[in-house]
């Protein structure tokens, strides 16, 4: 319900702009008479606020938290009005043209203004409204839009670090600036910017241009721009207006233009939907929209004066909405004329709309109701109340108040109403049906709670204690900075609880004359210090020991509020919160019982559009679960499932709040929304509800006419049904029994009720035991109530294994059918649940359960239902369910015969097309000698065998043959074959037996009557047993070829081979051999193999020998007759086990050697190596690999063999390979000799390598390196001639080392070089290490360089005299040059090749690699 208030604006003026304060119910309105008016929430003008200048105020902006209103005037002046002090500060030094933008920063620390000349000013404003400029920016174009960057302006402590914002200019420029004088060009848009928004969740800006292009741009801290999205918006631009765009949730844009709808665009999902105007007239469109995040509601106004709201009807964040049906449309009002602007006020209830000449404030309020001390008060209109006093002296009364009511409270003596401006108190007049007004006074109280003869109200930052005349008796002060501002009060049981806007609870003792604080401040937090949410409502129990709190949670990037599914109870004595979570439900009201202090009743509703955050509700404080909690929670979930498609499904949950910190669900039930509006009060054993309003005559005190008013309705609590009028002691005993039963304390539970004698009470307690699933206590209750049948059924029920099934049977005996159904469902005994439904006559539900959960008994259920329908004479329905139970073939004829409905039976059988039914009726007719009718139904049933039987019985064999040939029915053919056999028509009988696939009879006749050809053809088509039988017959009559073929087909190959050998049928034998395998008789296989050898079919012979496990003969055959042996053959050569594992292994190894030799003889060296390896003869294996010449395989095999001899053989072979140009081969040689531990062989390899370097490349330095290695490795030898080897290699090394020294001295010390060379030439064995020709070459080159060519020629002549080829050692060009110098003729060149150093020992691996190998192996 919206209260409509028109603002008091002079009629001759026009409204220019309007703005709500975000945190206070104050609205500023600027008009064309150069004034700004301030209005409160009910439209009354603030007379003290006189704000006027010489020009109009074009823009208004309220501080986020303070009562400061910033105003921008047409002359460029910026002013800030302080509503608290009614003072104004202004500055006109920045802007000289009309201001276009005026906005506060999110925390209110800065104010930003901009004008048509492109001047942007950043202002600093203190708490009193003093304004001072911080910086300004000058742009060449008018500023049209501005948005603050809200994702990184504040540090972790909430202290302002840097205010940053984007602003757009008329020329399409978008700039980025802060409050420290930094302003940069961000980007240039193509076209005028129509809307500029900041998306905090994505740290992006959203821009919509005049061309309706929507862009999402992400700005990094370094200034890089990343375009996230670019789409075209499908909307119509107003001709003379501006596009309306704003956030409607996290990532959801609401956009409106000249269309009769609002387009919602989900940026993250890139989906959109339309919210249409209800009953829009032609040309009507939205002129303004505004979104309320806390209410999740969009308000819009139209050109025809309609004011409409769209509220998101789900508890999920708005961003998750993808269905327009989730939005609930409500029309607030329709004003005369176009509405220009609509704006939401602070909170959820205030809405304002402006027209050309006036402004309206709409204040949303719900109808109030309250009940205390048996007095219930219901609000029926803004000023009308209905009072229902349970005291018979008063009854029902009606009251019209002097003020619009927004809040009310009552007790047994008084009624108190208020509306944040005025407050009025009433008292019940003795002996009268009316109320007397006590007083009426001004009160800005936000929250009031009445207790006895005084009340407590929240005023500004304090809580005032007042009497019923409005006089303040005491003021309770609060520290706004640390405690917050009081928002909610509730008093009961001598305790006052106060909640503040900072989620702080403070408690006060009201039992004394002066109200005193109890304890300190209590943050709304768990024991671990985690926030529990935002306090929305509080309630104190009857003895002031508990305070319950309902809360909401902030969710989503848009910081919207979502109802909390938990209720939190503060234990006043322990000062801790206990929490109960309703799972997928949320509490919407809380009522403590007015008698029992530990009983709390909560009205809950189903969360809409939100999945449960917990699988089950439990007490989070204690961590324990109650016995009844799981069962009752199943009821809650069941209620949810049944009502998931119904909005606002309501439940009432009863909680027990124990003294030890447990919050336990005791009971839960759904509210019939057609009867009840909501929970009002709890007075054990009754719960009181406000009923759906009904017509009452004389209900209005002012008119006395018919009025629609709510009534007070009561509902007995579950544990007290049938005991509403018991005495107080019994009531207390029942309550304690229920309490102790719920917490599982059975001893105390029994003690509380053991003296009760009433069978009704015991029956009620037995029903409670069913609810709590306590079989042991239920037996005691049944005994005390004298329910013998119930006790017997309980004992019988204990035979079932599931406790729930046992308790379900007790529930049945107590008439608690619904509980029995629940228990059977809980233990998944759906078979028993189906039986229960059937016993109650609820067959449709039984079928439903069976079809879903108990399909094994589904047909039984159909059958039982059919029997039930038969008893009810519902024949058609009975037939239907007999058919579903698949018993109709027997039951339907029985039923119709029993009823004497033969015609209906014939019609049913004829129309059913069921072969069994048709055959049954045909048999009946045949038994009645109605052969023609029998034939008709046999044909309809397609029982052609019966047709043939009837025809042959009548002597109509030709007609029977036509039936057989036409239908091809095998049974019919068999029937006719038997008839023809009886008539000695053997040929046709055999044919028909064959057609019927009855080969046994066909072969029998063929054998008896010696139809050999037919016998062979039949045998080939028949089963193996018949083939063998026919083969034996052919053998007996001497038709051996047919016998062999049939023995083979029948699987008796041995017999076929035996006959083949006996008769010499070689072709047949060869064909039979292809089917022999390892499972055949070895003697037979060897016999066949010998046959193949004789006929020189050696390959088949080898296969037969292998099948016979005679591998020696198989391999001998392959070797002698050069039969290629294959991998498939060798894989089958596995020695059969003899039980002696060692012997089996030896035999298998010998076989592998034979196989390897066979492969080797066939030059298949790879497979030979494989089987030598299997035979554990790796030396032979590597020798086979050597024959392949594959060095990679040889190296790999040697590496994995780990045998010394294999290393040596492989290394010897690799020396013959091109190890000089293949580093891997060289490394392998060294590695293998090293791993084989034969250093003398390695030394010899190095010595040969050194000699090769000298002979082939004259690389003496490399040769010297190799000889050093030879000496080093020879010294490691353990052979007897180690010293001789070392001496030999050392001597060679010495000679080569001397020559290398000579080569090195050729430049630095030529004389030393000559001396060394001459000494070497004197050595007798120098040729074994150093070639003499190389020594001569060294000297000749030296003498030529020195210019002593005569000496050089002398050395050349000396070489010739020793038969040393000159050009092999000396460069031919050098020889020619020396001869020409001395005038001698050049000699002819020799045919010896000239070698150069093209690699040589360069092929050796590095010494580091050698050391590494040695470190590994020595």
Specify the pLDDT at position 619.
37
Does 974 score more than 80 pLDDT? yes
Helix (H, G, I), strand (E, B) or coil at 1100: helix
Confidence of residue 1101 (pLDDT cuts 50, 70, 90): low
Note the maximum CA span of the chain. 165
Question: Of the ranges 36-45, 489-498, 559-568, 871-880, which one carries the lowest mean pLDDT score?
Answer: 559-568
* Cβ–Cβ < 8 Å for 714, 626: no
Asked whether the beta carbons of 778 and 807 are under 8 A apart, the reply is yes
- Edge-to-edge strands, sheet with 51-52: 15-20, 26-31, 35-40, 51-52
Phi, psi of 709 (to 5 degrees): -130, 150
787 or 528: which leads in pLDDT? 528
Section 480-499 average pLDDT = 93
Which pLDDT does position 456 carry in this prediction? Answer: 96
Which pair of structure tokens corresponds to residue 491?
């008093």
Q: How confident is the model at residue 1104 (pLDDT cuts 50, 70, 90)?
A: low
Q: HSE-up of 848 (CA within 13 Å, CB side)?
A: 6
d(CA 1245, CA 1214): 11
Summarised one tens digit per residue, pLDDT across range 61-107 is 999 989 999 999 999 999 999 998 889 999 998 999 999 999 999 88
Q: Is the dihedral of CA 461, 463, 468, 474 positive or negative?
A: negative
Lowest mean pLDDT among 274-283, 577-586, 1067-1076: 1067-1076
**Count of CA atoms in the C-beta half-sphere (13 A) of 567:** 30
pLDDT of residue 1096: 56
pLDDT bin (cut points 50, 70, 90) of residue 782 is: low
Whether the predicted pLDDT of 494 surpasses 70: yes
Distance CA 710, CA 579 (A): 33
Determine whether 440 is exposed, middle or buried from the number of CB atoms within 10 Å of its CB (0-12, 13-18, 19+).
middle
Which tokens belong to 650? 């309501």
Is pLDDT above 50 for 702? Answer: no
**Exposure on the CB side of residue 340, measured as CA atoms within 13 A:** 13
H-type alpha helices, 913-1011? 915-927, 931-940, 944-953, 957-967, 970-982, 986-995, 999-1008
Return d(Cα 644, Cα 609) in angstroms, integer.
10
Consecutive H or E run containing 134? strand 131-138
Please check the confidence at residue 414 and state whether its pLDDT lies above 80: yes
Give the pLDDT of residue 944: 81
Query: What is the average pLDDT across 1330-1350?
Result: 83
Q: In the chain, what percentage of residues exceed pLDDT 70?
A: 78
Condensed to tens digits (0 to 9), the pLDDT of residues 800-840 reads 667 777 777 777 777 778 888 888 888 888 888 888 888 88
Distance CA 557, CA 552 (A): 16
Average pLDDT of every residue of the chain = 79
User: Of the candidates 527, 533, 601, which has an alpha carbon nearest to the alpha carbon of residue 571?
Assistant: 527
Confidence of residue 124 (pLDDT cuts 50, 70, 90): very high
Query: If pLDDT is split at 50, 70 and 90, which confidence band does 1053 have?
Result: low
Mean pLDDT of 892-917: 82
Q: Which residues of 644-662 are buried (b: 16+ CB within 10 A; e: fewer)?
A: eeeeebbbbbbbbbbeebb
- What's the rounded Cα separation, in Å, for the pair 894 and 914? 16
What average pLDDT score do residues 1390-1403 get? Answer: 38
Least confident of 622-626, 774-778, 836-840: 622-626
What percent of the chain shows pLDDT beyond 90?
22
Question: Using CA atoms, how far apart are residues 515 and 495, in angstroms rounded to an integer?
Answer: 9
Number of alpha carbons in the 13 Å side-chain half-sphere of residue 744: 9
Report, in this order, helix, strand and coil percent for the chain, each rounded to 5.
Answer: 40, 25, 35
Q: Is the pLDDT of residue 626 over 50?
A: no
Looking at 779-908, which runs of residues are DSSP E strands? none
Residue 1170 pairs in a beta bridge with: none
pLDDT above 80: residue 723: no
Q: Is the pLDDT of residue 690 over 70?
A: yes
Q: What is the pLDDT confidence band of residue 1365, given thresholds at 50, 70 and 90?
A: confident
- Extract the tokens encoding 164: 């940053």
- Residue 1228's nearest CA partner among 1391, 1404, 1370, 1107 is 1404
Q: Which two tokens stand for residue 923?
A: 């048999």
Condensed to tens digits (0 to 9), the pLDDT of residues 994-1023 reads 777 878 887 777 777 777 777 777 777 788
**Residue 155 — very low, low, confident or very high, per pLDDT cuts 50/70/90?**
very low
pLDDT of residue 507 exceeding 90: yes
Residue 626 near residue 665, CB atoms below 8 Å? yes
Exposed/middle/buried for 392, CB within 10 Å: 0-12, 13-18, 19+? exposed
Choose from 537-541, 1259-1263, 1302-1306 the range with maximum mean pLDDT. 537-541
Closest to 311 in 3D by CA, of 348, 269, 261: 348
Q: Which of the 8 DSSP states describes residue 160?
A: B
pLDDT of residue 1034: 73
Bigger pLDDT: 528 or 548? 548
Residue position matching structure tokens 């990037």: 557
User: Taking residues 463-469, what's their average pLDDT?
Assistant: 94
pLDDT tens column, 1243-1275? 888 888 888 888 778 888 888 888 888 888 878
Burial 1303-1321 (b: 16+ CB within 10 A, else e): bebbeeeeeebbebbeebe
Is pLDDT at 1038 greater than 50 in this prediction? yes
Task: Pinpoint the alpha helices (H) of 92-187.
Answer: none
- CA-nearest of 1051, 1116, 1127 to 1089 is 1116
Identify the residue whose tokens are 């702009």: 17
Pick the range with the lowest mean pLDDT from 448-452, 677-681, 1356-1360: 1356-1360
pLDDT tens-digit series, residues 937-951? 887 778 888 888 778
β 435-442/131-138 pair status: unpaired
* pLDDT given for residue 558 in this prediction: 57
Residue 1092: predicted pLDDT: 60
* Residue 592: per-residue pLDDT: 94
Asked if 622 and 576 touch (Cβ cutoff 8 Å), the reply is: no
In this structure, are residues 245 and 264 in contact, taking their beta carbons and an 8 Å threshold? no
Which whole number is the average pLDDT over 859-879?
A: 89
Per-residue pLDDT, 1140:
66
Tell which wins on pLDDT, 206 or 1045: 206
Nearest-angstrom CA–CA distance, 450 and 498: 13
The answer to whether the Cα torsion of 215, 220, 226, 229 is positive or negative is: negative
SS3 sequence of 1347-1398 = CCHHHHHHHHHHHHHCCCCHHHHCCHHHHHHHHHHHCCCCCCCCCCCCCCCC
Query: Which pLDDT value is given to residue 978?
Result: 82
- Region 233-253: mean pLDDT is 84
Nearest to 691 by CA among 719, 717, 668, 713: 713
**pLDDT at residue 361, as a whole number:** 92
Q: What is the pLDDT of residue 1057?
A: 62
3-state SS, 1119-1183, equals HHCCCCCCHHHHHCCCCCCCCCHHHHHHHHHHHHHHHHHHHHHCCCHHHHHHHHHHCCCHHHHHH
Three-class secondary structure of residue 1300 per DSSP: helix
Does the pLDDT at position 575 exceed 80? Answer: yes
pLDDT of residue 1190: 82
On whether the CB atoms of residues 671 and 650 are closer than 8 A, the answer is yes
pLDDT at residue 1395 is higher than 50? no
Neighbour order of strands in the sheet with 57-62: 57-62, 68-73, 78-82, 87-91
Where does the pLDDT of residue 712 fall: very low under 50, low under 70, confident under 90, or very high at 90 and above? confident
Residue predicted with more confidence, 1399 or 1250? 1250
Q: What is the pLDDT of residues 20-64, one digit of tens each?
A: 999 888 999 999 999 999 998 888 888 888 899 989 999 999 999
């Amino acid at each position: 319900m919206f209260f409509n208030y028109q603002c008091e604006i002079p009629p001759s003026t026009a409204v220019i702009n309007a703005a709500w304060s975000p945190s206070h119910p104050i609205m500023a309105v600027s008009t064309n008479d150069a004034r700004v008016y301030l209005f409160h929430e009910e439209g009354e003008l603030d007379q003290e606020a006189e704000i006027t200048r010489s020009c109009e105020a074009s823009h208004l902006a309220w501080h986020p938290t303070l009562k400061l209103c910033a105003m921008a005037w047409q002359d460029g002046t910026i002013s800030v009005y302080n509503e608290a002090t009614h003072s104004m500060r202004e500055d006109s030094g920045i802007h000289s043209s009309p201001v276009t933008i005026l906005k506060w920063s999110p925390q209110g620390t800065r104010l930003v203004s901009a004008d048509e000349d492109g001047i942007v000013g950043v202002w600093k404003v203190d708490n009193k409204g003093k304004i001072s400029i911080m910086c300004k920016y000058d742009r060449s174009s008018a500023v049209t839009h501005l948005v603050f960057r809200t994702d990184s302006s504040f540090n972790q402590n909430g202290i302002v670090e840097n205010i940053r914002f984007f602003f757009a200019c008329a020329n399409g420029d978008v700039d980025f600036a802060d409050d420290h004088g930094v302003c940069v060009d961000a980007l240039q848009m193509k076209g005028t910017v129509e809307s500029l928004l900041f998306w905090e969740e994505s740290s992006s800006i959203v821009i919509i241009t005049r061309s309706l292009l929507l862009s999402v741009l992400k700005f990094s801290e370094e200034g890089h721009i990343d375009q996230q999205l670019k789409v075209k918006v499908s909307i119509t631009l107003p001709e003379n207006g501006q596009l309306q765009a704003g956030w409607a949730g996290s990532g959801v844009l609401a956009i409106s233009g000249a269309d009769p709808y609002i387009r919602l665009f989900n940026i993250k999902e890139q989906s959109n939907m339309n919210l249409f105007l209800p009953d829009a007239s032609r040309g009507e469109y939205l002129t303004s929209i505004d979104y309320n995040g806390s209410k999740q509601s969009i308000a819009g106004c139209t050109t025809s004066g309609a004011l409409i709201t769209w509220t998101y009807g789900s508890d999920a964040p708005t961003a998750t909405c993808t269905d327009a049906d989730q939005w609930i449309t409500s029309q607030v009002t329709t004003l005369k004329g176009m509405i220009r602007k609509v704006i939401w006020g602070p909170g959820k209830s205030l809405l304002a709309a402006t027209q050309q000449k006036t402004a309206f404030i709409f204040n949303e309020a719900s109808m109030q109701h309250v009940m205390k001390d048996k007095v219930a008060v219901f609000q029926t209109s803004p000023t009308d109340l209905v009072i229902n006093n349970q005291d018979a002296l008063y009854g029902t009364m009606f009251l019209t108040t002097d003020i619009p009511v927004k809040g009310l409270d009552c007790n047994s003596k008084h009624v108190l109403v208020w509306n944040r401006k005025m407050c009025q108190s009433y008292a019940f007049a003795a002996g009268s049906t009316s109320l007397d007004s006590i007083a009426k006074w001004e009160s800005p109280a936000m929250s009031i709670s009445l207790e006895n003869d005084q009340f407590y109200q929240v005023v500004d930052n304090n809580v005032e204690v007042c009497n019923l005349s409005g006089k303040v008796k005491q003021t309770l002060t609060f520290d706004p900075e640390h405690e917050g501002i009081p928002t909610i009060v509730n008093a009961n049981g001598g305790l006052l609880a106060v909640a503040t806007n900072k989620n702080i609870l403070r408690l006060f003792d009201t039992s004394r004359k002066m109200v005193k604080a109890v304890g300190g401040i209590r943050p709304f937090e768990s024991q671990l210090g985690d926030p529990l949410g935002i306090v929305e409502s509080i309630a104190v129990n009857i003895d002031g020991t508990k305070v319950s709190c309902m809360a909401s949670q902030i969710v989503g990037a848009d910081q919207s509020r979502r109802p909390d599914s938990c209720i939190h109870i503060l234990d006043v004595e322990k000062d801790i919160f206990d929490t109960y979570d309703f799972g997928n439900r949320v509490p919407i009201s809380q009522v403590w019982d007015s008698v029992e202090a530990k009983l709390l009743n909560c009205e809950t509703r189903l969360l809409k559009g939100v999945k449960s955050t917990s699988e089950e509700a439990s007490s989070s404080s204690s961590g324990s679960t109650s016995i009844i909690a799981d069962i009752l929670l199943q009821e809650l979930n069941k209620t949810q499932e049944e009502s998931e498609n119904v909005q606002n499904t309501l439940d009432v949950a009863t909680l027990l709040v124990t003294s030890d910190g447990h919050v336990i669900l005791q009971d839960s039930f759904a509210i019939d929304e057609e009867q009840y509006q909501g929970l009002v009060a709890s007075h054990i054993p009754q719960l009181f509800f406000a009923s759906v309003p009904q017509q009452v005559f004389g209900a209005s005190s002012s008119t006395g006419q018919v009025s629609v008013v709510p009534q007070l309705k009561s509902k007995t609590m579950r544990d007290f049904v049938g005991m509403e009028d018991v005495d107080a002691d019994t009531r207390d005993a029942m309550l304690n029994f229920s309490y102790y039963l719920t917490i599982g304390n059975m001893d105390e539970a029994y003690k509380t009720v053991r003296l009760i004698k009433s069978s009704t009470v015991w029956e009620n307690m037995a029903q409670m035991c069913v609810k709590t699933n306590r079989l042991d206590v239920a037996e005691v209750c049944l005994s005390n109530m004298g329910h013998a049948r119930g006790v017997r059924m309980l004992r019988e029920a204990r035979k079932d294994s599931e406790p729930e099934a046992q308790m379900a049977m007790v529930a049945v005996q107590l008439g608690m059918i619904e509980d029995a159904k629940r228990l059977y469902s809980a233990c998944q005994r759906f078979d028993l649940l189906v039986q229960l439904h059937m016993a109650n006559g609820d067959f449709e539900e039984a079928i439903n359960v069976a079809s879903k959960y108990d399909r094994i008994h589904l047909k039984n259920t159909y059958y039982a239902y059919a029997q039930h329908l038969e008893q009810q004479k519902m024949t058609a329905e009975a037939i239907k369910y007999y058919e579903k139970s698949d018993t109709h073939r027997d039951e339907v004829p029985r039923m119709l015969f029993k009823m004497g409905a033969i015609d209906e039976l014939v019609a049913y059988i004829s129309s059913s097309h069921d072969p069994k039914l048709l055959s049954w009726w045909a048999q009946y007719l045949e038994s009645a000698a109605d052969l023609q009718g029998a034939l008709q139904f046999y044909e309809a049933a397609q029982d052609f065998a019966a047709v043939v039987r009837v025809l042959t019985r009548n002597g109509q064999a030709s007609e029977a043959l036509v039936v057989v040939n036409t239908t091809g029915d095998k049974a019919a053919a068999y029937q006719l074959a038997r008839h023809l056999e009886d008539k000695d028509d053997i040929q046709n009988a055999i044919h028909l037996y064959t057609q019927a696939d009855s080969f046994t009879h066909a072969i029998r006749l063929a054998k008896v009557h010696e139809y050999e050809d037919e016998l062979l053809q039949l045998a080939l088509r028949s089963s193996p047993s018949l083939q063998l039988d026919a083969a034996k017959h052919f053998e007996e009559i001497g038709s051996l070829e047919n016998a062999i073929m049939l023995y083979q087909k029948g699987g008796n190959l041995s017999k076929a081979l035996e006959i083949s050998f006996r008769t010499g049928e070689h072709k047949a034998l060869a064909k039979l051999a292809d089917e022999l395998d390892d499972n055949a008789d070895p003697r037979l296989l060897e016999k066949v193999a010998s046959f193949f050898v004789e006929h020189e079919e050696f390959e088949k012979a080898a296969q037969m020998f292998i099948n016979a496990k005679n591998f020696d003969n198989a391999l001998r055959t392959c070797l002698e007759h050069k039969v290629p042996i294959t991998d498939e053959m060798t894989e089958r050569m596995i020695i059969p086990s003899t039980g002696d594992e060692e012997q089996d292994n030896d035999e298998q190894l010998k076989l592998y050697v034979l196989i390897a030799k066979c492969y080797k003889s066939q030059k298949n060296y790879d497979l030979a190596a494989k089987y030598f390896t299997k035979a554990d003869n790796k030396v032979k294996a590597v020798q086979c690999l050597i024959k392949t010449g594959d060095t990679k395989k040889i190296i790999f095999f040697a590496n994995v063999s780990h045998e010394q001899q294999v290393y040596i053989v492989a290394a010897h072979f690799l020396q013959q390979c091109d190890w000089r140009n293949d580093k891997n081969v060289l490394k392998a040689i060294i590695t293998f000799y090293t791993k084989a531990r034969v250093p003398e062989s390695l030394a010899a390899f190095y010595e040969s390598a050194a000699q090769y370097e000298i002979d082939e490349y004259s690389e003496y330095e490399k040769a010297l390196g190799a000889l050093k290695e030879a000496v080093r490795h020879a010294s490691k030898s353990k052979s007897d001639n180690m010293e001789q080897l070392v001496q030999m290699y050392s001597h060679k090394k010495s000679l080569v080392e001397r020559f290398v020294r000579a080569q090195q001295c050729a430049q630095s010390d030529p004389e030393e070089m000559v001396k060394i060379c001459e000494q070497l030439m004197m050595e007798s064995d120098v040729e074994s290490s150093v070639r003499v020709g190389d020594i001569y070459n060294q000297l000749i080159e030296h003498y030529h360089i020195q210019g002593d060519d005569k000496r050089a020629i002398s050395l050349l002549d000396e070489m010739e005299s020793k038969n040393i080829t000159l050009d092999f050692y000396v460069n031919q060009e050098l020889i020619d040059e020396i001869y020409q110098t001395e005038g001698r003729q050049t000699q002819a060149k020799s045919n010896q090749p000239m070698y150069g150093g093209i690699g040589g020992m360069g092929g050796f691996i590095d010494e580091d690699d050698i050391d590494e190998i040695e470190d590994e192996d020595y």
